[in-house]
Amino acid sequence: MTRDAQRSSGSPLAFVALLGGNAALAFGPAFVREADVGPVAAAFWRLALALPLLLAFAAWQWRSLSRKAGAPLPWPTGSVWGLALLGGVFFAADLGSWHLGILQTKMANATLFGNAASLILAVTTLLLARRLPRGFEGLALVLAFAGAVLLMTESSQQGQARLIGDLLCLLAGVLYAGYVLAMQRARDSLPSWPTLALSSAAGIVPLFLFATLLGERIIPGDWTAVLLLALTSQIIGQGLLIWSLPHFSALVVGLTLLSQPAIAAMAGWILYEERLSAIDLVGGLMVAVALVLIRLPQGGGNATAEPAR
């Protein structure tokens, strides 16, 4: 079996991990809403509470790879530390913007727009290469734009706050694309867990400063929601995706990503009585299809598969 075929099929355990990671991430917006701290403060705790375990995983992976190599891995250079710091700042701004948007729009919209990084990265690639879309790129971008217009039009009819929520979540998608670009460069020199641990550590201080400047409540009276947010989003969700992503093609990753908005929409309906209109369904489906199409190989190139949030 070729490597591409292996990546397309993966293993049953890896596929369960891929679905489980997306399912865990889909409940993140609910825990943000239930936290008795501000939304940016909730993002701070998402990283801060998860960091000790992430550092433990990073140390374990570092030692394991060093044993396999028969020598200690080289320590990261200054440029790698700089990339991790830059990625952490982007990640902090992304989470802050996304959490603010979660409180103002539907969970389904927040999940769709928040995971639009692959579309943003595609547009960035086109602009840097100074070329027109080819293959499924053009169709994906048209569907994404039309679907976003439909979703935002529907949101605007339900109040300015909901439209602002959509825009904040879309901004988060843009910022997450910046995080992905920085982390892709860092991953050239670092294993997966140390990369995630470094970027998480780098995002803690900016989030604390953002939350303080916004005058948010920082210390929770009830720790349940922020603990569950850190566990499901930063440890279980991101951890399962980091482990499972190398086993699958970008198309399979894109298809399973669609489980996130579906689960988030169901959770929003059950927990908050967020009912989706026909326009919501059509617009959401258009954006979802675009997220899959943009992951297809274009003109013989490689498909892309960045981790979801």
CA distance 64 to 3: 24
* CA atoms lying within 13 Å on the CB side of residue 60: 7
Number of domains within the chain: 1
Average pLDDT (20-47) is 94
pLDDT category at 297 given cuts 50, 70, 90 is low
Task: Say how far apart CA 274 and CA 266 lie, in whole Å.
Answer: 9
Digit-coded pLDDT (tens) for 84-96: 888 889 999 999 9
pLDDT tops 70 at residue 284:
yes
Residue pLDDT, tens place only, 220-253:
999 999 999 999 998 898 888 878 877 777 667 7
Spell out the alpha helix ranges (H) of the chain.
3-9, 12-26, 28-34, 39-69, 78-102, 107-114, 117-129, 137-156, 160-186, 192-213, 224-229, 238-244, 250-257, 259-272, 278-293
pLDDT of residue 268: 92
Nearest Cα residue to 181 out of 124, 241, 249: 124
For residue 56, being part of any structural domain is answered with yes
Residue 153 within a domain? yes
Residue pair 40/100 in contact by the 8 Å Cβ criterion: yes
Distances in whole angstroms, Cα of residue 130 to Cα of each of 12, 126, 127, 133, 306:
41, 6, 5, 10, 23
CA angle 133, 9, 236 (to 5 degrees): 90
DSSP letter (8 states) at residue 277? P
Give 300's pLDDT tier (boundaries 50, 70, 90).
very low
Evaluate whether residue 154 is within a structural domain: yes
Q: What percent of the chain has pLDDT over 90?
A: 39
The answer to the question of residue 186 being in a domain is yes
Indicate whether 9 belongs to any domain: no
Which of 87, 119, 112 minimizes the C-alpha distance to 183?
Answer: 87
Lowest mean pLDDT among 15-29, 54-68, 134-148, 217-231: 134-148
Q: In this structure, what token pair is assigned to residue 234?
A: 């930063």
Which of the two residues, 297 and 225, has the higher pLDDT score? 225
Which pLDDT belongs to residue 4?
Answer: 47
- 7 falls within a domain: no
Q: Would you say residue 3 has pLDDT above 50?
A: no
- Which of these, 177, 173, 153, lies nearest to 306 by C-alpha position? 177
Residue 59 lies in a domain: yes
Domain range spanning residue 191?
24-293
The more confident residue out of 196 and 23 is 23
Cβ atoms of 235 and 53 within 8 Å: the answer is yes
- Measuring CA to CA, which residue among 157, 62, 140 is closest to residue 105? 157
> Half-sphere exposure of 193 toward its Cβ, with a 13 Å CA cutoff?
21
Do 102 and 110 form a contact (C-beta atoms < 8 A)? yes
- Residue 9's Cβ-side half-sphere holds a number of Cα atoms within 13 Å equal to 6
Do 4 and 249 meet the contact criterion of CB atoms below 8 Å apart?
A: yes
Assign 309 a pLDDT band (cuts: 50, 70, 90).
Answer: low
Among 178, 177, 196, 200, smallest CA distance to 187 is for 196
* Separation of alpha carbons 111 and 27, rounded Å: 10
Would residue 163 count as lying in a domain? yes
